[in-house]
Amino acid sequence: GEAKLKIDSNYILGKVEPRVFGTLIEQLGRGVYGGLYDPDSKFSDGDGFRKDVLKLVKELGVTTVRWPGGNFVSGYRWEDGVGPKDERPRRLDLAWHSTETNQFGLHEMESWLKKAGNLELMEALNLGTRGLESALDLLEYANIPNGTKLSEERIANGAKTPFNIRLWCLGNEMDGKWQLGHLDATEYAKKVSKVAAGMRQLDPSLELIGCGSSNHGMETFGKWEDTLLNYAYDSIDLVSCHAYYHADPGELDTFLGSAVDMDRFIGEVISSIDAGKARAKSDHIVNISFDEWNVWYQGSEPSKTPEGIDNWPVAPHLLEDVYSVTDAVVVGDFLITLLKHADRVKAASIAQLVNVIGPIMAPEDGEAYRQTTFYPFAETAKYVKSGLVLKTVAKSPIIMNKKYGETDMVNSVTVKCEDGSLAIIMVNRSIDKSINFEVELSGCEVNNEIVEAKTLHDDDPLAKNTENNPNRVVLKDNNSVLIDTKSNILSINLPNDSWSIINIK
């Protein structure tokens, strides 16, 4: 079979929201402590922030930061993390069976976001052990300029200017039995409509995210969304989706089709949202915040939480997955898939950022380095962060996938970048076959000049970057790319199990 693509830069699907390049930073393991913040490290600056990590975060190109969780948030008291550091309490973190020292809180996060390049905060609220009152308190503390108890407290704690947080997650994965204070769909939907109404009494212009399903396979998936949207359609602006995938032993070929499931998940949530819109007889448009997505080997050793009534470690090594080149191809495919829904996916967060299932690793005594998954994210962000996704016509050979059925061998997205150039991002999902990909460019206003063509591939599908060999897997030039100027046809060889990007001027 052939793999072909036809591009016409007149046909636009939607604008890429920079927020699609967000991340989740959870107070979990060495994500914050030892990741972002480590006052004792030789790599840190005067605020205790790791400079080597900040440098890589900028290179990665992330935009919004969802924080402080994740599961952690459902037991979090935000006021523990503000005020003089030596007076902050140590608390049990029940989600990860750890001790939270609260040395890093809202003010530290705000300073870190500034240093990382003025990133935007997506604040997650505790709707597990808490509710409306603490949400309103945090909102007052963060966003009211001055003159009230909590706004004055913020000023006394060193922040004269309000934080002006626009994006708020109304809880985290409240459909999951593992979630502290989890709720059934009706309980959650009613809570959302009350909390949202209260928050909007303080500031009607906030953007609020309701929890959708924790993953596509949840037993309550579909009904959960329907119930939420029945009660609270007009109260929220976005519905969340979360999804993690991993390769079972010997199943790399199946795993390479994971983005097909993500795509179906997004399509089904859009249908549920729009059915809710019809029932609500509303003009309001609700979109998707895919605010946790990644490859995560959930059942593996690094994800086992500590145990024992007398064992609550501070910042233990947790969820420190080391990613292979195949994991990175799948991550690249997830980003392609999110971009292909640019008309409805308006925010997304790779979960997470540093050490904890992250594209960046920060060893205790060594310099931070890029995991394999860093590359497709950074390259995609570099070119398309604020471009226009084009409607294209594509043809690909079909692969029969054990889990997901018929899947396209080649998946791609094309973006008209801000500078007028084109970025084509592609994956070859075949575990063992390379393919020639032909792109018809006649409808494009470009000079057929290839600025860059890069591919992520390795003969060993399980090759990884490690502290001792941090550059084992890197992006390489793809020298097979050619444009026939007579026919305006570009061709490129996509190796088996690979991710690629081309930029054309």
- Which residues contact ligand AHR (rule: CB under 6 A)? 26, 69-71, 172-173, 214, 292, 351-352
Catalytic residue among 26, 292, 379, 452: 292
* Chain residue whose CB lies nearest ligand AHR: 70
To ligand AHR, the closest distance from the beta carbon of 31 in angstroms equals 9
Name the nearest CA neighbour of 134 among 182, 200, 199: 199
The beta-strand segments (E) located in 9-112 are: 12-15, 22-24, 64-67, 91-93, 98-100
Identify which of residues 17 and 292 has a Cβ nearer to ligand AHR in the complex.
292
Catalytic residue status for 292: yes
Q: Beta strand 393-395 with 3-8: parallel, antiparallel or unpaired?
A: antiparallel
To ligand AHR, the closest distance from the beta carbon of 28 in angstroms equals 6
* Cα–Cα distance, 194 to 166 (Å, whole number): 18
Name the nearest CA neighbour of 368 among 269, 470, 445, 464: 470
Identify which of residues 182 and 340 has a Cβ nearer to ligand AHR in the complex.
182
Question: Please, what sign has the CA dihedral across residues 464, 465, 467, 469?
Answer: positive
Catalytic residue status for 379: no
Identify which of residues 143 and 294 has a Cβ nearer to ligand AHR in the complex.
294
Torsion of CA 214, 361, 59, 385, to 10 degrees: -10
To ligand AHR, the closest distance from the beta carbon of 264 in angstroms equals 20
* Cα–Cα distance, 312 to 319 (Å, whole number): 16
* Cβ contact 501:453 at 8 Å: yes
Amino acid at 178: W
* Cα–Cα distance, 203 to 209 (Å, whole number): 15
Catalytic residue among 26, 79, 123, 173: 173
Identify which of residues 13 and 262 has a Cβ nearer to ligand AHR in the complex.
262
To ligand AHR, the closest distance from the beta carbon of 456 in angstroms equals 24
Identify which of residues 157 and 220 has a Cβ nearer to ligand AHR in the complex.
220
* Cβ contact 121:64 at 8 Å: yes
To ligand AHR, the closest distance from the beta carbon of 183 in angstroms equals 15
Identify which of residues 67 and 383 has a Cβ nearer to ligand AHR in the complex.
67
Alpha-helical segments (H) within 256-343: 258-280, 325-339
How many CB atoms are closer than 10 A to CB 343?
14
To ligand AHR, the closest distance from the beta carbon of 96 in angstroms equals 8
* Cα–Cα distance, 335 to 332 (Å, whole number): 5
Catalytic residues: 173, 292
